[in-house]
Amino acid sequence: MKPIYFDNHATTPVDPRVLEAMLPYFTEHFGNAASRNHSYGWTAEDAVEKARKQIASLVGATSKEIVFTSGATESNNLAIKGVAEMYAEKGNHIITAATEHKATLDTCKHLEKKGCRITYLPVKGDGLIDLDMLRDAITEKTILVSLMYANNEIGVVQPIAEIGKLCKEKGVLFHTDAVQACGKIPVNVIADGVDLLSLSAHKMYGPKGVGALYVRRKGPRVQLTAQMDGGGHERGMRSGTLNVPGIAGLGAACEISQNDMPTESVRLRGLRDRLRATLEANLEEVYINGSMEHRLPHNLNMSFAYVEGESLLMGINDIAVSSGSACTSATLEPSYVLKALGLGDDMAHTSIRFGIGRFNTEEEVDYVAKKMIDVVNKLRELSPLWEMFKEGIDLSKVQWTAH
């Protein structure tokens, strides 16, 4: 039996309706969208322009503001590096946050080496940034604020509209990595005051390897320095032959997500809350990481005190989730996102991220909850820390032999 997939923040399966929209563009309509002088090219171009409209509609933009990329990592690179180069005469200061995705953080680190000054805002205990701190961080040299819409680990949704308003007031461009939010919660670049927005197909039931960057054309007209040289596709911002089947899939994924959002977000929230309620009713010493109020409807991130994350994953090997534990990462460091919330390493080690998706059912939620409860109880029986906690020993006062 295949494991139950509860890791929808990592990636999502392609919706069969999306696949159907893609298939003709692999074989029958294989043309290059840049071929202007025959019907193969025109058909491909039509598909691309249809997708552009579908994407623009999802985020409240116009078609001409959508630039296709290979995914959100490229979108983030293009937005941040493109602004840093284009606006270098205006300033060299960029503001981001400690809990951003590596595609943003590492791009900023790269620019830091090239002479940019980067401010990494801390977050509060609930994962939200402090707007006053952001306001104070903006200087005359600030050219860009890059803050994610919703976090990939804890699902916390930042006050994007307030950030957008503040950036507008200060005359600073605002980029948001909206990979986790697009198609899940309402995103509108006008209402949110966003100038640049990254999104990806594979987080919303589209294919891997395709994404987009929204680039505002009016009020202000945002310019970017291209990061790849070539045929000058995508209005000179991103060269490279367009991935027509992928783009058709991204478009279809956006349209389906937009149509289904009112009912689907309610359904997912119901499933997530059911999971949370069952776990909390049956287990003591479980803690939610990040704000529950400002959160994606399908995300739950919980720490199960006194059990180690990797052993927990081993016990639930018929369920696909991810852990903030060091042991599951290549770096042997526990999640930097959870640490940024002020969580100790010990609690970060015990965290599990649940990402519920379009194809999950209530039966699956109940199975996952029961399995989690069984395994946590079993591992606590095995845990010397649980035993000490039950004896009333304050673990923070014990002198451990760090190794």
Partner 1 sequence: MAYSDKVVDHYNNPRNVGSFDKSRADIGTGMVGAPECGDVMKLQIQVNAATGVIEDAKFKTFGCGSAIASSSLATEWLKGKTVDQALEIKNTDIVNELSLPPVKIHCSVLAEDAIKAAIDDYKAKQGAGAPAEAVTH
- Which residue lies nearer to partner 1 by CB, 281 or 332? 332
Stretch that binds partner 1, among 88-96, 135-143, 293-301, 391-399 (CB under 8 A): 391-399
* Residues 6 or more apart whose Cβ sits within 8 Å of residue 281: none
Work out the burial of residue 261: count CB atoms within 10 Å of its CB; fewer than 13 is exposed, 13-18 middle, 19 or more buried.
Answer: middle
The SS3 assignment for 333 reads: coil
Q: How far apart are CA 144 and CA 134, in angstroms?
A: 12
Report the run of H or E that residue 276 belongs to, with start and end: helix 244-282
Is residue 402 part of the contact set for partner 1 (CB under 8 A)?
A: yes
Q: How far apart are CA 370 and CA 279, in angstroms?
A: 8
Stretch that binds partner 1, among 62-70, 172-180, 296-304, 392-400 (CB under 8 A): 392-400
Q: How far apart are CA 306 and CA 384, in angstroms?
A: 8
Cα 208 to the center of its chain, rounded Å: 14
DSSP code of residue 189: T
For the segment 273-332, give every residue that binds partner 1 (CB under 8 A): 306-311, 314-315, 325-327, 332
What is the smallest separation between the CB atom of 400 and partner 1, expressed in angstroms?
A: 3
Is residue 385 part of the contact set for partner 1 (CB under 8 A)?
A: yes
Stretch that binds partner 1, among 55-63, 168-176, 342-350, 363-371 (CB under 8 A): 342-350
Is 116 labeled as catalytic in the residue annotation? no
- CA nearest 314: which of 386, 376, 385? 376
Stretch that binds partner 1, among 56-64, 104-112, 275-283, 385-393 (CB under 8 A): 385-393
* Residues 6 or more apart whose Cβ sits within 8 Å of residue 249: 14, 18, 19, 21, 22, 201, 206, 207, 210
Q: Given candidates 161, 190, 277, 395, which one binds partner 1 under the rule CB under 8 A?
A: 395
What is the smallest separation between the CB atom of 346 and partner 1, expressed in angstroms?
A: 4
What is the smallest separation between the CB atom of 302 and partner 1, expressed in angstroms?
A: 17
What is the smallest separation between the CB atom of 45 and partner 1, expressed in angstroms?
A: 46
Write out the residues near partner 1 by the rule CB under 8 A.
Answer: 306-311, 314-315, 325-327, 332, 334, 344-346, 349, 381-387, 395, 398-403
Q: Return the active site residues.
A: 327
